[in-house]
Amino acid sequence: MGEVVVGISGASGAAYGVRLVQFLRSKDIPVRLVVTNAGEITLKHECNTTKEELASSTGAILEEDKNIGAKSASGSANIDAVVLCPCSGTTLGKLGAGIGDNLITRSAIVALKERRKLIIVPREAPYATVHLENMHKLSQWGAVVIPASPGFYNHPKTIEDMVDFVVARVLDHIGTEHTLGQRWTGEEIE
Ligand SMILES: Cc1cc2nc3c(=O)[nH]c(=O)nc-3n(C[C@H](O)[C@H](O)[C@H](O)COP(=O)(O)O)c2cc1C
């Protein structure tokens, strides 16, 4: 499998990105980690960590969001998927307008032009019409939009269970085998 770019932008839910990086690295999948300035704030505030700590504890390759020439934005690199997890309304808006002015947005735009997997995990409540319109556009352009909305049908007990629910859906779409959460069998309801 090629590399996976994980972008953490400044929406609430940094824990989803952290868990995704940890899981991919636990399977030895190469990860390029890009965190926006606002993402650094939510990482610290919500997870009490930094992008440097996340990269060093997992072995992810840390790239600077302002380094527009980094490998994550390369059209010729062996990159299988770009995942923006979580994805803020600002980053969503840039993508909807085709703007790639930092590494996270440029990597996503490159994924669209190269027809790579682009997975977007937006979080906002409520969504403004502009957020919904941008999600609609991106979905039409081939991106997979996985909202940061855990299901409750598996009876989650902890925040980690709820985080894993969303990360499991992302892994399904990256194409990574996992055993996070229980899969619905169809026999749960009598
Ligand atoms: C603690 C905190 C939580 C935030 N939560 C959200 C959120 O859930 N969704 C969102 O779209 N923006 C949220 N924001 C605002 C974004 O961080 C802001 O729009 C920023 O410009 C996003 O930039 P980025 O996309 O480059 O990371 C939050 C900001 C802070 C400080």
- Other C-beta atoms closer than 10 Å to the C-beta of 75 total 10
Q: What are the tens digits of pLDDT across the range 62-120?
A: 999 999 999 999 999 999 999 999 999 999 999 999 999 999 999 999 999 999 999 99
Rounded to whole angstroms, what are the CA distances from 77 to 81, 91, 172? 11, 23, 22
For the 3-174 domain, the top CATH level (class) is alpha beta
Q: What are the tens digits of pLDDT across the range 14-44?
A: 999 999 999 999 999 999 999 999 999 999 9
Peptide bond into 86 cis (omega under 30): yes
CA of 179 to the centre of ligand 1 (A): 30
Peptide bond into 122 cis (omega under 30): no
Nearest CA to ligand 1 atom 9: 11
- What's phi and psi for 93, nearest 5 deg? -65, -40
Determine the length of the chain: 190
CA of 12 to the centre of ligand 1 (A): 7
DSSP 120-167: EEE--SSPPHHHHHHHHHHHHTT-EE--S---STT---SHHHHHHHHH
Atom index in ligand 1 nearest the CA of residue 42 equals: 1
Cα(54)–Cα(29) distance, integer angstroms: 15
pTM more than 0.95:
yes
CA of 138 to the centre of ligand 1 (A): 19
Single out the residue of 101, 94, 35, 31 nearest to residue 65, CA to CA.
35
